[in-house]
Every structure is written in structure tokens, then in C-alpha cells.
Structure 1
Amino acid sequence: MDRARPPGSLLALLTAALLAVPGVTALSSAARAADADVLTNGGFESGLDGWTCTAGTAVNSPVHSGSSALQATPAGSDDGQCTQTVGVQPGSTYTLSGYVRGSYVYLGASGTGTTDVSTWTPSASDWQKLSTTFTTGATTTKVTVYTHGWYGTGAYDADDLSLVGPGGTGTGTGQPPAAPTGLAAGSVTSSSVALSWSAVTGATSYTVYRDGVKSQTVSGTSATVTGLTASTAYSFQVTASNDAGESAKSAAVTATTGAGSGGGPTGLPGHALIGYLHSSFANGSGYTRLADVPGSWDVIDLAFGEPTSPTSGDIHFNRCPVTDCPNAESDADFKAAIKAKQAAGKKVLISIGGQNGQVQLTTTAARDTFVSSVSDIIDTWGLDGLDIDFEGHSLSLDTNDTDFKNPTTPVIVNLISALKTLKAKYGPGFVLTMAPETFFVQNGYQYYGTGKWGGQDPRCGAYLPVIYALRDDLTLLHVQDYNSGPIMGLDNQYHSMGGADFHIAMTDMLLTGFPVAGDANNVFPPLRPDQVAIGMPASTNAGNGYVPPSEVTKTLDCLTKKTDCGSYQTHGTWPDLRGLMTWSVNWDRYSNWEFEKNFDAYFG
């Protein structure tokens, strides 16, 4: 017998007694069954009524039940998301479920007031049920339910979605605003486009999309998109948002940026060769004079500027002394070689960090010292910009830092501030590049700091906040695809150094984007292909992970032509991939310029 409940006769007596109390009435059937499906048109029988979709449509086949279902096709940088904002009760538990088909299909809820949730399947050839639960916050009256696929993985289907829980208060069931009209391009420069559009009734903000990718959100009816490539056509759209959600995208407007000083950002050629020159130290590769670096090298990173102490922020650049480098040129000849390279259209940068140059900007004072000392180096030698090569524990995430879009770790916040200050000081011609290790970038796909993945190295993904914050100012990102352990790719397989497969998988992640630490609500967006170069060792002497020229060619064929891809299939084709970076010019010279010759043969 169930001792937790009175027998039927006793229950009847208690109920009768309760009803005899003045002011007490019988419980209605609605109150006894408060839980209900609060979604509108979760079976898509009324088309997309109630839903806002970027690339969705209602189809009659395949369906899980009824006569209609959702089908959405991610394309380019669009993941095919559909959303619906519904009213909910504060402090209540809800179950979100639905049936999906396809690869990398996500179902989730945001704005819960507690922990946003999502569930997904990597592969569902037939209908598969997804389900998750959440509890709303103490003041939460609306949540947004969404489903989406993944970039380049093909169409997905969804049907019979439901959100079961207490009925909403009605305050969150409004409609998103209408799509903006009147979008027009105004002033255009070699690196920016000014946009304006008509106001939308009920809109509280507007989001600008550049070639399908979110660029910025503003409160007014105008915006200027910066960080663009010279002599390049761009497509822009804008959406309007309010508490109920985001509108459909406006009609697109195209604009072509003006001619810059060269064929790409800050005058770089369409395909560039980047190399590090050992300028402050000697090793087995021998010293190479800057004037003797062949003309194929488009960006030359002077290695290295190093700190006087890890936390001082004070960076110095000391050229290799003649005791270690007997054939080193004089300071005057070094400056003359810099000017000669620049006159030939090359970029000469100071690279900060390296294996032995740990830099930790733990305070604002260190940040300000970093800005002033780096500026002194750039001004003294007449350089074109800065390369960030922070390694070791220069960047490590605090345990509570789990959102790369809003970092709180001081060393990361201060570095972002310092780089933005330098960019603003020197203007649009300032060349900013970064050379993180895979550990700091792609490993963020699986792990991100220690707050979410207890016990994991806090360097996992630690560069992601910096790259994201500087994405419109970043000239080149060339991750070091060497001296690396196995890294998981977007195919959820681990990839190891030694062949084209590793470089293809790592680069595909940068150009496709990826959820950080598996969180579908925290997606690191794809970089432009003109911002990405692939980092490789120049020879077996230069570091672990060397691949012969034939594997370099296979890598480029797969990424730029989608041929010879081997076991890894990319999520796109990027003929505008910027090029290759290598450690180092000196080691390539030691190997009879093998790396340079292969680059020249491939790109002509």
C-alpha cells in the first residue's frame, strides 16, 4: 500500500471538508493539469507560422507525423537557424523535445534566466528524438526555442517540437519586427562601407550582416563596417530585433571597396608567404641578413621582441650581437634593408614573444608599458606592424572565464586593449598578425579553460577571445600547426601531425567556425580566408610536424580547390586562402629554400 497517500474514502472526506470552508472552491481540471505545450505550430502544419528562420521552409516529405515538417539548409556562414520566443512562468521547469533528421542538428533554448540548454545529434539518418529540460529564472517570462544545423553539412529536418510546462504569462509572446527596408550604401573607402536603412516600428536594435555573417549590432539606423579588403565586392543585409526575436533579413545591397595600396589588406598580395627571421639570436640555422632574404617573402617577422620580465609589459628588441652572429649587419644597414623591403612592397614586423619570451599583461600598468615600449620599437626601426607570438603560459584563462565573447581574465582583457590602442594609433595601414599554437585555438573546440572542464589546461582556447575581439583589425592569423599534440577536428576525430590531413582539418575549423567547448550557443565565427595562412615548419630541423612539399601541395589543393582531400572532407572551398607561414626563413635557407620554392611553384 502507498503510505504517502490517504485511502480513497479518507481522501473523499478530506475533500468534502475542504469544500465546506468558505472561499474554497473545487480545483479546475486546467489547474490540476497546468503543464501544456506552449510552443506554437511545433509540427509546422501551418508552415512557418510562429517561427523566424534564416533558411527554412515547410516540406511535405519527409515528416515525422502529420503532413508537414521543417527543412532548413545551412549555407556559407548561415547555420539554418529557426527560432520561436514563447511566454513562460518564472521558476518553473520545462521539457523541450522534438524529432530531427540530418547531421549536426541542434535543439535548444536561450534566455532561460538560469543555464541555457541545448542537445544535438552528430548524425541521424532517420528521425531521432532530442530532449532536454531547464528551469526558468525567478523573473523569466519568456524564452527562445531554436533549432539549427551546422555549416556545410547539408539540409536538416525537424518536426513535432514541443515545450511542455506551465503556461506562460503572455508577456513574451509578441512578434518580431518586420524586416528593414531602404538599406543603402553610402561612403565607401578601401577598408570600410557606410550603411543606412529606414527605421522599423517596434525595433530596439539592428544587426548588420556582411556576406551572411553577423558583423555588428547597433541601436540606430546606420553603421559603418570596417576591416574590409580593398577592391572587393561585399554583400550586406540588416535585421531588426525586439524582445520577441529577430526579423527576417532585408534585401541585400552590394558595395565594392576602393583600391588600396595593393591587392589585399594593407597591401598584401592575394597569396602571401610569411616567415620568421632570426634577428635577435643565433642557432644551428645560421644568421641570415635581412637584405639577403629573397623577394618571395611577403611578410618578414623579426624574431623576437622579448620582455624584461614576464609581467612588466616592457618589451625590448636586441639584435643578435656580433659575438654570436659574426656576419650580422650594422644597425644602419638593418634599417636600410627594412626600407628596401618596404619599397618592394614587403611588410616587416616585430614579433613579440616566442618560446622564451613569456608576456603576461596582468595589470593596466603593464598594458600601458607594453603599448609604449612596442611603439618605441616600431618607430625606432620604421616597421609596418606587430606579430603576437605569445606561447607558454602567457595566455591562460581564469576558472570563471567561459565566454570568449566577453572575457574577464586580466591578461586577455589587457592584451585586447593594448592591441586596439596600437591599431588606433597607427591607423588602417597597421599590420597585425598572430601566431598561436593549436593548443590555444583549435583545442577550444573541445575544451575552454578550467571553469567548464575541470582539470583541463587553462590555455585551451585562450587565444579565442583575443582573435574574436580583434577580428575586424586582424590582418593575418597563422596558427602554428606544429609542435602539437593530437587535436579534434569538426569531424569529431583526433588529427595528428605528419601529413596534409592535420593542416586541412585545423584550417577548416578556422574557415568554418566551431562551437566552443561543445556549446552550440557559444560559436566561434569563421574567419575570412584572406585572414588565414597555414603555419608549417620549413624543414625537419625547424620543429616537430614537418611535412614534405607533396603534402603541402595536397593541403593547398584540398582547401583552395577541394581536390585530393584524403580522409577529411572540408566544409567549403577557399581559393582566397591567404597563404603559408613558416618557421623560419633561416631554416628554409639552411634547406636550400625548399619551402619557398614550393610556394612559388604552387602560386606562381
Structure 2
Amino acid sequence: MDRTLLRPLATAVAAVLALGGLTATAHAADTDVIRNGGFEAGMDDWSCTAGSGAVVSGPVHGGTRALRATPSGNDNARCGQTVAVQPDSTYTLSAWVRGEYVHLGASGTGTTDVSTWVRSAPDWQRLTTTFRTGAATRSVTVHTHGWYGTGAYHADDVTLLGPGGDPVQVPAAPTGLTAGTATATTVPLSWTPVPGATSYRVYRGTDRALTATGTSATVTGLAPATPYTFRVTAVNAAGESPASAAVTVTTPPGGGDPGGGLPAHALVGYLHASFANGSGHTRMADVPDSWDVINLAFGEPTSVTSGDIRFSLCPASECPGVESAAEFKAAIKAKQAAGKKVLISIGGQNGQVRLTTAAARDTFVSSVSRIIDEYGLDGLDIDFEGHSLSLDSGDTDFRTPTTPVVVHLIAALKTLKARYGPGFVLTMAPETFFVQLGYQYYGSGPWGGQDPRAGAYLPVIHALRDDLTLLHVQHYNSGPIMGLDNQYHSMGSADFAIAMTDMLLTGFPVAGNAERFFPALRPEQVAIGLPASPHAGNGHTPPAEVTKALDCLTRSVNCGAYRTHGTWPGLRGLMTWSVNWDRFGGWEFSRNFDAYRWG
């Protein structure tokens, strides 16, 4: 790409991004007027177009954090900040960068705006340029950006050396905060611009919900028929303003239980319908009434990337006494007549599914539909494990996923939901690795030395949160996970179930970045996933510990060392692997659930 084309385009656009440490010679009176140039305070003071930027823990040039910004086909991932300067003065702008076609520049100088760039920097490289301000210039905007459709770039240690500008005043509190038409799960907000503000923070109660660069935003992930109080503050280099006057909105009813029909507190179990193991075969007709949702394990792919899903009953040679297909279908109808839901579960430990293409996505939809129609099922459970979901290196924000296997899965599930209507039950059973571990590692990918699967379910859950009936994360086969108390918790205890569930019901910053806050799920969307017996997998939690977890989450008693961020009497219930293993263990898990006194 010709440099003569890139430079005019780069200098024509004003924006805001990340820059870092420089070693240029400066006069004694010169200071570094960039704020948070090393991104150690996250994205504070920086703004990126189209949500393209995020702070990462690796690679970094200095300190512990750096900026990573990802261009798209119609956005060059411009990040920057506006700083106070002195008129008629000379400034030296510098940043350390990595990537392809990375630009560094300043606009609004009052003289000639400047830009410098590097075509390819496989490792950290310093960019430096100088400019002189105009006779009346009191502020300039410094920025970095990449190029449309190229890969992500990094920036760190940005500095702007020169005479410090006039002191910046903390902005006034925003006024005119109003709410638009709310849905069952979202509230749009707008407010009056505040002079001197570079960004705004929206608070839901006392919790920061999001940060906006404009004067409007939509808060998502809310519960139906629930009152919420919102406030907004204005932010600039000097700090954060007082909060605006509050506005209280009650979300309308409806949409609160996608695929409704479940009891207020439900028991979910997987039935080994297509295979045999040491737990023994259990016929559909013999599943006790304790189980409200029965997930048929498993529908499996004909190949990893085909999208073609098949389901068949366990052969008689492996499962003595297995029912015929006609008997199985009749038993399903009998369960449904008793108010139970029967779903096909896709995936499992051995059923890796990667929807890498649009064709695989469409095949997935058609083949899953055939299974649902043939057996008259109520919906679908997604139990993708292994490498079915992972993140590409440029996919760093769960709100706007770009990884094909994630994007195609979201589209497929939305299509199935639309095809079968509001009664369609959609559940997911990810491992903690794919969800709560996103608190630490989402989007860090192989470039940061972390597994690209960490947190990979988060964009799927977020995109489908208004369609999702139940999320029952597997609280087993897991290593220690950090909770919202910044302490690690290990499986097999009430403490682990409490801490992991609290994250889902409270919401959590992703990869430690408060600017990317994964919003809370509604309590009726959440069930705790546990092994039915010590034989069913690592992480068995004794019944007494299960009861403690339910007590703590629904009544704030028996909480132990971990303190939750709320109380959720509407928590949906429990999921277990599996009905077969519970039978093998004398029905201990389901008996404990049946005996539990809710509320």
C-alpha cells in the first residue's frame, strides 16, 4: 500500500488511542501531558472508534498492560485522547507500537497536523513525531490507528513532551438524564452534553454498567418487571464529576422466561440415550418425576466441521433392555404431558462441533431441526466442550465477536429459536473454563500465552441472553477459578458453587477490564451444574454442601467465607450429570433437591 495514500488519509481523521514511553530529549520545563499513556489504568482517558480497543496483559512494552486495537473492514481502530497544551509551543509525540500499518499522529494543532507510521513492526518499535501549536491552540488530540481490514495492533508507553497546558477542571454533573422506551431486558438512556467531558459513566444503582463517549447508551441484561435506578457522571483528565440526578425505570413484563413452562425451581438432568457406560442404561419411561428438564445425551456430528448432527438410540448390544424408537418417542410424549421438557443435547466430551463456515451453520440448523421434529422435542441444549469454541487472536470483545465458529453458532441458535417460536427451550452447559475464566483471560489468546478457549462462551451467552432459558455451568472438571473477591475457589465445596454462581448473577469485568462488563443474567436463567455422584466426574459436591450453596444464594445464610453481592430467591435450580449416575448412586442428588425447602 502506497505511503502517499496512507498519510493523507491518516491525518484527515481525528481520534483517540494509546501511546507510551518515550526517551526523547526535552527541555527542563517540558512535561509529559499524556494521561495513562501506559494503559496501566485500563482504558481510562482513552477512547476508540467502534469499540475497537481494549487493554491486554500481553504483549506489553512497559509495565503490565498495553492497548490492543482491532480494525474492521469499515473502521481503522482509531484510539486517542485530547490533552491540554500551551499555544505557540513545540511538542514531541512518541509511542511504542507493534503490528501492520500502525499510525501515530496529532490533530487540532493549529498549525500542520502530523502523522507517522510503520508498515510492519513484528516487535515493539518506537514512532516519534514533533509539531508546534498555533497561537491560539489550547488542546490537541493525539491518536493511533491501524488500517481497514488488517490485523490487530498494539500500542504502549505513549508520551507527549512539552509545556503543560492550563489546568483541566473536573466537569460538571450531567443534566437532562432521561430514559427511552424500555424492553423487558434493556433501558435506553440519554443526557445533555457536558463541556469539557471526554467520556461518561453510566451507573445502575451503585455499580458501573458501562462507559460511553457520546450522550446516549443502552443498558442491557436487565430483568423484566424490575425497577432500576440509573445515574450518569462526566469524566475528563481531571477526574469524575458528581452524579446526575437519578432516573428510575421499571422494565415491562414479558420475555422474562424464554421458552417458559418450567417450574419456579427446576431439576435438570442428562439421560445417556445414545451410549452406555458404567452407570447403566436408564429408559426414558423410568426417569423419575423429580426431573423437570431431561437432556438427551448426545446428538453428535458426522465430522468436526460438517455441522451435520445425528442422534440415535443406544444399540441393544451396548444397552440391554433399551426401548424401541417407538417406545422412546411415546415415553417422551408422556413426560411432556406431565409438564416435563425434553431436549436434544449437542456435543459432550467427544462430540466436537466447529461451525467454521456458513454452509456448516446451515447444515447444523437443518440437521438439528430434523432431530427435534422426529422426536417431538421441546428444544436444544448446547454442551460444546474441547475446541468447539475458541477465540481468534483479534476477537477481544464479547459484545462484538468476530471468530467464525462463534458468529456462526450465534446465528444458528437464533435461527432455531425463530423457527420454533417462544416456547422453544434453549439451554447451555459450558465448563467454567469457557465462562468464569473469562474474568481473567478473555481475548488474551495465544499471543498472551493463554488458551484461546478461555471465556469463549461469553459472546454466545451475551448475544442470546434474551433467548436463553437456562445457563447451567458445569461446576466440575475444573481447576481453581478466581471469584469476584479476587480469591481462587476450588470445586467440590459450597464455596465454589456460590462464588461461580455469584459471578453470573452479579456480572463481572472481563479480563479485569471494567470497560467491558459482562452483565448479570436473571436468576431464573441460572442453574448450578454438579456431578450426581463421586463416580460421575471430578468435583462431586456432597449434598450438605449443595444445600449450603442454595441457602446462601437464595436466602443469604450458610454462606461461609464468601460474601455474595445479592440474594436471589428466584434461582432456577440445579443441573446434574447425570440421571443415569444419580440412579447408580441411589438417587441421592435428586432426593436432596426434592427435599430442599425454597424460600
Alignment of 1:493-572 (within 5 A): 493-572=487-566
Structure-1 residue corresponding to 2:46: 110
* CA distance in structure 2 between the aligned counterparts of 1:253 and 1:450, rounded to whole angstroms: 36
Do the aligned residues in 2 keep the contact of 1:110 with 1:143 (CA within 8 Å)? no
Q: Deviations over 1:107-164 (max 9, x none)?
A: 9333168966699xxxxxxxxxx999997852575699xxxxxxxxxxxxxxxxxx99
> Take 1:297 and 1:602, find their aligned partners in 2: how far apart are those partners?
14
Q: Which runs of 5+ in 2 are unaligned?
A: 1-26, 58-62, 68-93, 96-103, 108-139, 144-159
1:374 matched residue in structure 2: 368
**Which AA in structure 2 matches 1:587?**
W
Is the Cα–Cα contact under 8 Å of residues 108 and 117 in structure 1 kept in the other structure? Answer: no
Equivalent runs, 1:164-313 vs 2, <5 Å: 178-181=175-178, 183=179, 192=184, 232-235=225-228, 248=244, 251-257=247-253, 266-313=260-307
The Cα offsets for residues 416-472 of structure 1, whole Å up to 9 and x where unpaired, read as 111121122222222111111111111222223554763222211111121122122
Q: Does 1:417 align with 2:411?
A: yes
- Helix, strand or coil at the partner of 1:596: helix
Across the aligned residues of Structure 1 and Structure 2, the Cα RMSD in angstroms comes to 4.5
Choose from 349, 358, 362 the match for 1:364: 358
3-state SS of paired residue (1:442):
coil
Cα distance in structure 2, aligned partners of 1:457 and 1:133 = 19
The DSSP-based 3-state class of the residue aligned with 2:437 is helix
The size of the alignment, in residue pairs, is 478
For residues 96 and 206 of structure 1, the distance between their equivalents in structure 2, rounded to whole angstroms, comes to 18
Contact 1:474–1:531 (CA under 8 A) maintained in structure 2? yes
Give the deviation of 1:357 after TM superposition. Answer: 0.4
Alignment correspondent of 1:69: none
Checking the alignment, whether the CA contact within 8 Å between 2:295 and 2:343 is kept in structure 1 is yes
State the Cα distance separating 1:395 from its structure 2 match: 1.0
Q: Quickly say closer, same or farther: Cα 1:477–1:115, change in 2 above 3 A.
A: closer
Write the letter of the residue equivalent to 2:473.
V
1:321 aligns with 2:315: yes
SS in 1 for 2:285: helix
Whether the 8 Å CA contact 2:171–2:194 is kept in 1: the answer is no
Whole-angstrom CA distance in 2 between matches of 1:473 and 1:441:
18
Measure the CA separation in 2 of the matches of 1:520 and 1:220: 19
- Tell me the distance in 1 between the aligned counterparts of 2:28 and 2:200: 43
- Alignment partner of 1:436 is 2:433: no
* CA gap 1:96/1:486 in 2 versus in 1, 3 angstroms: closer
**Aligned partners of 1:179 and 1:240 also within 8 Å:** no
The aligned residue for residue 127 of structure 1 is none
User: Matched residues in 2 for 1:523 and 1:226: separation?
Assistant: 11
What SS does the corresponding residue of 2:44 show, helix, strand or coil? strand
| Mapped partners of 2:141, 2:233: distance in 1 | 19
Name the SS of the counterpart of 1:582 in structure 2. Answer: strand
Q: Which amino acid aligns with 2:405?
A: V
Task: Assess if the C-alpha contact under 8 Å between 1:177 and 1:242 holds in 2.
Answer: no
Separation of aligned partners in 1, 2:453 and 2:164 = 44
Distance 1:548 1:95, change over 3 A: closer
| Deviation, structure 1 residue 307 | 0.2
Residue 586 (str. 1) matches residue 583 (str. 2) = no
CA distance in 2 between partners of 1:197 and 1:454 (Å): 36
Larger mean CA deviation between 342-351 and 531-540 belongs to 342-351
Q: In the aligned structure 2, how far is the partner of 1:516 from the partner of 1:221?
A: 23
Distance 1:375 1:474 in 2: 18
Instruction: Please tell me whether Structure 1 or Structure 2 has the larger radius of gyration of its CA atoms.
Output: 1
- Whole-Å Cα distance in 1 between the matches of residues 161 and 390 of structure 2? 41
Displacement of 1:180 in angstroms is: 4.1
Contact 1:513 1:526 in 2 (8 A): yes
Deviation at residue 514 of structure 1 after TM alignment: 2.2
**Structure 2 counterpart of 1:138, which letter?**
G
Q: In the alignment, which of 440, 450, 455 is matched to residue 446 of structure 1?
A: 440
The answer to whether the 8 Å contact 1:396/1:459 transfers is: yes
| Residue identity in the other structure for 1:314 | D
Residues 108 and 118 of structure 1 are in contact (CA less than 8 Å); yes or no, is this contact kept in structure 2?
Answer: no
2:272 maps to amino acid: H
Q: What residue identity is the alignment partner of 2:105?
A: A
The one-letter code sitting in structure 2 at the alignment partner of 1:179 is: G
Judging changes above 3 Å, is the alpha-carbon distance between structure 1 residues 411 and 225 closer, same or farther for their aligned structure 2 residues? closer
Contact 2:484 2:499 in 1 (8 A): yes
Match of 2:87 in 1: none
Q: How does 1:142-153 map to 2 (within 5 A)?
A: none
Describe the superposition over 1:246-296 as per-residue Cα deviations: whole angstroms up to 9, x where unpaired. 994763232552699xx8861222211111011111112122122221222
What's 2:391 paired with? Answer: 397
Give the deviation of 1:32 after TM superposition. Answer: 8.3
- CA distance change for structure 1 residues 300 and 227 in 2, over 3 Å: closer, same or farther? farther
Distance in 1 between residues matched to 2:488 and 2:509, nearest whole Å: 16
Match of 2:105 in 1: 138
Aligned to 1:157: none
Alignment partners' CA distance in 2, 1:94 and 1:270: 50
Q: Give aligned-pair identity as a percent.
A: 62
- Taking structure 2 as the reference length, the TM-score comes to 0.68
Q: Deviations over 1:556-601 (max 9, x none)?
A: 1122222222222222222221111000011111112111111111
Q: What's the CA shift for 1:333?
A: 2.3
What is the TM-score with the length of structure 1 in the denominator?
0.67
Residue type of the alignment partner of 2:361: R
Structure 2: distance between partners of 1:133 and 1:165? 23
Q: Secondary structure at the residue paired with 2:312?
A: coil
Deviation at 1:351, TM superposition (A): 0.4
Specify whether residues 116 and 273 from structure 1 end up closer, same or farther in structure 2 by C-alpha distance, changes over 3 A only: closer
- CA offset at residue 228 of structure 1? 5.7
**Change over 3 Å in CA distance of 1:408–1:170 after alignment to 2:** farther
Counterpart of 1:254, as a letter, is T
- SS of alignment partner, residue 266 of structure 1: coil
**Structure 1: where are the runs of 5+ without partners?**
1-30, 38-87, 98-104, 120-129, 145-162
Map 1:335-350 onto structure 2 (within 5 A).
335-350=329-344
- Aligned in 2, Cα 1:290/1:227: closer, same or farther, shift over 3 Å? farther
Corresponding letter in the other structure for 1:553:
T
Would the alpha carbon gap of residues 241 and 486 (structure 1) be closer, same or farther in structure 2, given more than 3 Å must change? Answer: closer
| Structure 2 contact 258–466 (Cα < 8 Å) conserved | no
Whether the 8 Å contact between 2:273 and 2:296 is mirrored in structure 1 is: yes
Give distance in 2, aligned partners of 1:420 and 1:241. Answer: 37
Distance 1:304 1:595 in 2: 22
Q: Residue by residue, what CA displacement relative to the aligned partner does 1:307-332 show, whole Å, maximum 9, x if unpaired?
A: 00000000011111222223222222
Q: Say which of 477, 480, 491 aligns to 2:474.
A: 480
Call closer, same or farther: CA 1:597–1:241 in 2, change over 3 Å: same
